[in-house]
Every structure is written in C-alpha cells, then in structure tokens.
Amino acid sequence: MTKHAVFRQTYGPWALVTGGSAGIGASFAWILAERGLNLVLVARNRERLEQKAAEIQTQHPTIQIITHALDLSLPDSITTLIHATTELEIGLVIANAAVETNGAFLRNTFDDEQRLIALNITAPAHLAHHYGQSMRDRRQGGILFVASIAAYGPLPYLANYAASKAYLLSLGEALHYEFKPYSVDVLVLSPGLTDTDMAGQSEINWSQLYAPYMDADTTALAGIRALGKKSSVIPGTTNFLVAFVRKYLLTRSLNIILFGHLLRRAIMPNRL
C-alpha cells in the first residue's frame, strides 16, 4: 500500500478545512486532494472559495469537493456546518481559519477582539469537540490546529492574537494525549511569518523585525508530515529557533520587554 493510500485510509474519506480558500488553508486543500481525500472547504468569501474548489477539482477530478461559505466567527455558524456534514464521515479536521488584531489593545474595538476570540478559539474548540467524538468512536482520525509561534509567549501589540494561539497550542497538545488511546491523532502546527493575505494586510512592518517569510505550501506540508508523529511542530529553522529562545532561554518578563520593544518599533504609528 502506498503512503498516500495509508494516509487516505487513516484520515479519510472526508477532510474538513476551515479558511480553505487561500493561504495555508488552500495549501492544505491541495495536499489532501493529492492524497485522494474528499474535501469540505469552508471560508467566508463564496466566490473565492468556489474558484479554489474548481481549480482543485480540475486537477483532481476523482475526488468530491463540497464548499460552505460561512463566517465561523458568527453565532451558530459551527452548528450550521455540523448539520451540513451530518451524512459525511469526516476523518480529518484542519482548523485553520483565523483573524489577527494588532496594535494597542485599546485602539481596537471590542467587537473586533470578540470576533477574534470566536474565530480563533471558540470555533476550533467546537470543531474538535464535535468531530472528535465520532473519530473516537471509530478509533480513527485526526485534528490539526493551526496556531503560530506567537503562541510561545505574550506579545504586546498582538496581545489577543498571541493569547488565542497560546490557547490552541495548549489545547492541542493536551488533546494529543487524551485522544491517543483512541488512535485519533492531534497536532498543533505553529507557523512563523507566512506569505498569506493576513500577513500582507497586517499593519505591522515585518521587515523591521527581520522576520523571514515562508511559503504556505511548505508550511502546510510540514503539518501533514508531522501528523500522527508529534503533538506539535514548528516549520522552518528560524521559526524553531525563535520559539526555542522564547520558551527556554528568556524569562517571561524578558519576553514581554524584548518583543514589546520590537513590535512597538514595527507597528504603524496610528495603531499605538
């Protein structure tokens, strides 16, 4: 049996990818299609989502693709998605959809901060809780949370975003242990700066931090390759070293002071 066939048998027949129309989520969708999994792709922008699905379908005509244009930060959106997938055997959930708020916490509206909490924290937890139950019962499946190296310590001017990713890192590593007896794999992927729309639209001048961009395909592939082998993975040597220093070499207070200074220098003045 080929590696792709084993992967399909372990995590198929259906994979659900949130934020599947662009960036890392779209890269996940392509990789999973190449491995023969049917796809449920979820994103807010219907036109962009359907275009991405059509592109993938053209290259992989034997798989099935279902799209759901949903804003997962809205109340009852996850319930809507659950009802829409009742008849499907979801063997892999990739919780990738996220939003970033940056700048001084008090500069942002609380509606924006609350939307971040709903999308970055509540939605992934709800997905894992619901689909994890059927995976546990089947003794098979996988859940992949997309966090960030921002999860490895408090970040002034990215305060709520970093906190949301720290939640995912903690949740995912704990669920990796809890779900293991049921042969359900849980992984947390913690990318650094990645060439996506979110990074491109950020009001942070990342060049001030000398942070190297990784491409979305390489980032997503690192997650797929680590699934079933680790509880968490950080793609890229530089990203790994940054997380290692933050976790093991710097005190918590030094983390805050150092990265607060760096981000204050890089953030747009109107966001301070």
pTM of the model: 0.96
pLDDT at residue number 165: 98
Mean pLDDT of the chain: 95
Helix or strand (DSSP H, E) at 222: helix 216-226
Q: Is 152 a catalytic residue?
A: no
Catalytic residue (one of 11, 165, 247, 248)? 165
- The CA-atom distances, in angstroms, between 222 and each of 8, 49, 55, 155, 237 are 17, 23, 23, 25, 12
Q: Is 157 a catalytic residue?
A: no
Please state the rounded mean pLDDT for residues 93-121: 97
Q: What are the sequence ranges of the domains in the chain?
A: 3-271
pLDDT at residue number 166: 98
Higher pLDDT, 4 or 168: 168
pLDDT at residue number 55: 98
Catalytic residue (one of 11, 131, 161, 167)? 161
Question: Residue 162 and residue 160: Cα distance in Å, rounded?
Answer: 6
CATH of 3-271, one of 3.40.50.720, 3.60.21.10, 3.10.20.90, 3.40.50.1000: 3.40.50.720
pLDDT tens, residue by residue, 238-256: 999 999 999 999 999 999 9
